[in-house]
Structures are given as structure tokens and as C-alpha cells.
Structure 1
């Protein structure tokens, strides 16, 4: 399979493929997970960095010089 075809797959399809399961219940859980969680940002040269959000306790992703919460949108400078 080419990289192009693999990149065109949905996030849910990629998760199901990685899980390599035929269990319908688990596949449905993976689809629900993909639908209810945000996509991570593109991987930079430092990889993907995360921390906890001080406001809602969900995941914040580092995007250049800022931390951005995937759930509530809270923004924090990386120096603080």
C-alpha cells in the first residue's frame, strides 16, 4: 500500500487497523474514541509534546511557542 493511500484514511480507520481486531465492540469503541477526541497537531522536529490543562484537566498540545488545550481552547505561553 502506498503512503498516499494510508494518509487518506480516516483517523478511526487507522486506529482500527493498528488494533488489528475483528471484535465489533472494540472497533465501535475505537470509532467513538476517534470521534470524541481531537486530532493531535502535526509532528514537529521535537515530536509531539503534551501537558495537562490547568483549567479543564484535559490535554494541551505544544504548538510552537504556545500550549493549546484540545478541549477548552485555553492558551498558555511555553515559558510560563
Structure 2
């Protein structure tokens, strides 16, 4: 999802190229089942949540190249990874 002063756009059924996200990482958002690049997101914050049906998900917040507003990717089945 990204927002500009004149438009709000949300993409459904997109894919991300990686399996791990961390603050400062970049995610390339691809059109579902293709290699067409929709946008890139630099992760600035990660929120972990659980839906009422028990499915874990997270929001990867950050800046995309096509907007100056903060945007997010919704990712299912994600878990935090901790290091010492």
C-alpha cells in the first residue's frame, strides 16, 4: 500500500523476494507470479500481530520509492527472530 497527496493505492496478491526482514532492509515488491517490480520498500518498523483465527502476521512499515508517505506490506506466517 502506498499513499500520495492525490492517491492511495493498494496491491493485492503481491510477492516479496526474501524470507527475512529487518530494520534497514529493502524489499522488492513483485506483481504476483511474475518478476515485474511494483516498488521497493525500505523497512523502518515491524509490527507482529495474531489474527482472531490464530494466523500470525506482521506489517513491514517503511518508505517506498513512489511515495513520500510511510507505507506497509502485510506478511502472513511471520515470527520474530531474536539474537543475543
Whichever structure has more helix as a proportion of its residues is 1
Query: Larger relative CO (CA 8 A, sep 6+): 1 or 2?
Result: 2
TM-score, reference length from structure 1: 0.22
Larger radius of gyration: 1
